[in-house]
Structure 1
Amino acid sequence: MDERHEHGQENQPHEWPQLEAMREHLGNLPFPQGIDEAIRQGMSRAKQRRRRRKLVRLCAYSACTLLIVIVLSVRFSPAVAAFVKEIPVLGSIVELIQYDKGLQLALENDFMQKVSLYEDIDGIKVTIDGVVADESRVMIFYTLTNMDGRKGAVYLDEAKIVNSGDIQYGLSYGNSGFDEVWELKQGSIDMNLQEGTQLPNHLELEMKLSPYDKSVKQGDAVYHFNIPIDKEKFEGMYETIAINKTVTVEGQHITFGEMTVYPTRIGIEVEYDAANTKKLFYFDDIRLVDEKGEAFGTIMNGVSASQIDENRTILYFQSNYFLKPKELYLRARSIRALDKSKLEVRVDLDEMKLLSRPDSLLSLESTSKRELWNERGLIFNLRNDEMRSYNLFKNSYTDATGQTFESNRSESSNEYYQYFIEKVEQQSPITLTIEDYPARIYGDVNIQIR
């Protein structure tokens, strides 16, 4: 039986300023022994992810290890404990406090729109807890509840806006794990809006949950929600600043154009000179720093960039909109980059060996087969100098005849990267194109914005 229940927004405002008390309280607590290892293990487990063509950028979500360690080791003050008790999405809120200063500031400034819509399909309830929205981004927070504990591992297979119309957008979302036994899962859907897009008063969201094990009788479940958006809450809340400065790093020219500051994030237009000899992937440590030395880095658990064309992109940063800094600097030290002549990796599927690769860091280890998914996995080893998960290859690849194929799934850990290809007729060797790689150029980027 399918049941759908909708609840209107409550009129009583939440006391979001209390979030500051919670942050200060957590900040003053000593971290328990072993937390570094717990975080590393949690991040490693969280790096399994799915990729889809429709997404602007799919970012893996961190596991809940940090939340669990903090919650189990903290004795909340009475004020903080009372505040925590009011929040149905504690996990999401704590993650935002830890990883996105901009969203934290938005919550502290009463920017959350409470929704409280839920739908129960065959024992799995999906609740839309709330949204944080402005003219650039919509964050939708949801909770999955295993009502009777009988359902096995499920994941968010697809999310889309049904009434998108002329809305130009991309969605990103991740899954925190595929545990067979579970009670509650929390996550978010990040809606990335193109400049000038007008949001409707309601978003019709469709979410499809699927069983991870395709052999089980439990089928896909599709949930529908009509989410109200209070546009008056954020209308006109943005600021544009012209940077228009070019820097040179190891002979590679980079121009920073216009910066737009929204409550949920900051977007900076970046253009790479077409004459550059290297393909520039991503900045390792780019950040905005104010006069007090407080840094706001790039988005970590959401859409980190939007590609405009081959040489232009928009980088997204955590927002300082509510701080109104008097001085602001853009700083970076290293950029992941690779010679343009080394971007293709050719794989001999018959002999299972690499015919070309950028350097000795990359090797082909083995293959795997997933009969239920009708796909074959190529398992690469990437000897990395840090704990980082890479979208190593682009989704599309070609075979020896030049025919193009699509890979919509990949999985990665600290060193291993698995790239899935469909088990269809394709002539060996195939050619994969590198999308990111742990090779770097270094320079001191320090631009005064205001």
Structure 2
Amino acid sequence: MHEEEAREARIDGALTDRIDLAIRAGIRDGRQAKTRARRRTARRWSIGAAAVLLIASCLVSIRVSPAFAAMLREVPGFAAFIDRVQQSNYDRSLSLAADNDYAQPVGLSDEHDGMKLTVEGILADDGRLVVYFDVRGEGAEDALRIGWPTVTDLQGKTLEAGIQSGTPGEYEKDGRKTGIYQGMVDVQMGTGVALPDEAVFKVRLGKESSVNAPRNDGGSLPPVALDTDPEFTVRFKIDHSRFEGLKQQIAMNQSITVAGQTVTFEKAEISPLRIALYMSYPEGNEMQIFNAGDIQLVDDQGNAWKWTGGTGERNRPIQYFESSYFKQPRELYVEGSWFTALDAKSRKVVIDTKEKRILKAPDDKIMLANVVNGPSYTTLTIGIMGTRTDDNRGYALFGWDGFTDGAGKLHRFSENKADTVGSWRSTNDGVTLQEAYYYLANEDYPQPLTFDVYEYPAYIVEPYRVRIR
């Protein structure tokens, strides 16, 4: 390990010396440029060589010594990306990957209508793509609307993946202070779905003329871009040679029992940017298990690798965690103490939207906070209280399938607003309140309306520890 670090230090040092010499030569030659036209051409080449050498070194590697990293920060366009990756506390996998040559600078932009989108760079492995971008207007005082970003292939098809990003409201909050709206999109590819060689990042942007109008319940909806706002696109390449053949697969096939329900851990896949844990809940379980609660990975040194998300089918979930790939611990365990689950008879919520009250729910953790009839759709705001203090998950509650009216007819959520949007805030006494928003087309529905529960904060508790390797 020490020899490898010493070798890298020698390489970085030698490269730094070469760059310093080239830059000094360019400066020296520039001072003498007035004397000889013939030599002026050669000296321009020297300055160009310094710039090319800097750019080439950036494209090859982001793992650098502190001295060389400081020099990279002087190169326009790369500093923000390097800092954002190496200082990220969102997911240790990203900073560890960047420290080990996995950052891929992009630096491409799309600029029009007085706004500019730049994809700064990406991190990628065989199952995950993380895109860093920023948005800015013509001036630091410009307030912008930012839509939900998407990532597609070159044919315009959205990648078969779970795509997660910060809310537009988060971008807007920081952007009003700095004039630069920074964002990150995390793409978790589906099982067996490969990343393309090239992808397209898309987002709609618009200019705000005033502060968002408050909701009737006193909150403030995020400043989401309108469908009529212009779309910005950046096409970028993904270098597969950085991660080909690096994924490690470990068979587990171990089961535990929690409150009489069986949970099976089938296998783990360890890649540079994530660890994927494949689980299953047998059909014979009396309860529907929703989430794995406080699940995490712990290595033999006591380091915890946190849960970062999940995909998969209802009874065959795939949980994702920060990756220990570059640490290579001798032992690795999956640990936790609780799951969320409900039995069949409790998995429905019945609401009378005309009377504005809940008629049936699994328990008293949810309430109908508001029903707002708008010009195009009706917004239901469902409040969620009483979650565990260590439960940091956002609950979609009803999912996206729709609802059944009092006559038994199935309806989809409004096409204009098909997504569930949630928010979190704390009350004065420190209690966490979540809100989930659902959008119904304006129709005269026979009452009451019945919603199937997709996930819910009802807990079953049993500590467990299962060895991965």
Tell me, yes or no, whether TM beats 0.5: yes
- One-letter identity of the residue aligned with 2:239: D
Partner residue, 2:165: 173
Distance change in 2, residues 1:223/1:439 (3 Å): same
- Alignment of structure 1 residues 34-433 onto 2, 5 Å: 87-89=79-81, 92-93=84-85, 96=88, 98-149=89-140, 151-163=142-154, 168-175=160-167, 176-179=170-173, 181=176, 183-210=179-206, 219-299=228-308, 304-308=309-313, 310-371=314-375, 374-385=376-387, 386=389, 388=392, 389-398=394-403, 399-400=405-406, 401-406=408-413, 407-413=418-424, 414-425=432-443, 426-433=445-452
Count, aligned residues: 378
Give 1 or 2 for the bigger CA radius of gyration. Answer: 2
Identity among equivalent pairs (%): 25
Q: Please give the alpha-carbon distance, in whole angstroms, between the structure 2 residues aligned to 1:94 and 1:347.
A: 48
Unpaired segments ≥5 residues, structure 2 = 1-51, 213-222, 425-431
Distance change in 2, residues 1:331/1:228 (3 Å): same
Q: Please give the alpha-carbon distance, in whole angstroms, between the structure 1 residues aligned to 2:465 and 2:200.
A: 43
Tell me the C-alpha RMSD between the 2 structures: 3.0
Deviation of 1:150 (Å): 5.8
Partner residue, 1:445: 464
**Please, what TM-score do these two structures have when normalized by structure 1?**
0.76
Residues 392 and 417, structure 1, Cα contact 8 Å, conserved in 2: no
130-139 or 398-407: bigger deviation: 398-407
Q: Please give the alpha-carbon distance, in whole angstroms, between the structure 2 residues aligned to 1:330 and 1:199.
A: 28
Residues 92 and 186, structure 1, Cα contact 8 Å, conserved in 2: no
Q: Please give the alpha-carbon distance, in whole angstroms, between the structure 2 residues aligned to 1:207 and 1:441.
A: 40
Deviation of 1:151 (Å): 4.0
Q: Please give the alpha-carbon distance, in whole angstroms, between the structure 1 residues aligned to 2:317 and 2:122.
A: 26
Deviation of 1:112 (Å): 0.3
Deviations 1:383-428 (A, max 9, x none): 2243743223212222223222124232322314142223322332
Deviations 1:32-63 (A, max 9, x none): xxxxxxxxxxxxxxxxxxxxxxxxxxxxxxxx
221-230 or 240-249: bigger deviation: 221-230
Q: Secondary structure at the match of 1:10?
A: helix
Deviation of 1:89 (Å): 3.4
Task: Compare the two structures and name the one with the higher helix fraction.
Answer: 2
Identify which of structures 1 and 2 has the higher relative contact order when contacts are C-alpha pairs closer than 8 Å and 6+ apart: 1
Q: Secondary structure at the match of 2:56?
A: coil
Q: Please give the alpha-carbon distance, in whole angstroms, between the structure 1 residues aligned to 2:241 and 2:123.
A: 13
Partner residue, 2:29: none
Residue 56 of structure 2 corresponds to residue 11 of structure 1? yes
Distance change in 2, residues 1:162/1:357 (3 Å): same
Residues 379 and 416, structure 1, Cα contact 8 Å, conserved in 2: no
Q: Secondary structure at the match of 1:11?
A: helix
Deviation of 1:216 (Å): 10
**Please, what TM-score do these two structures have when normalized by structure 2?**
0.73
Deviation of 1:171 (Å): 2.5
Unpaired segments ≥5 residues, structure 1 = 1-7, 22-77
Residues 115 and 138, structure 2, Cα contact 8 Å, conserved in 1: yes
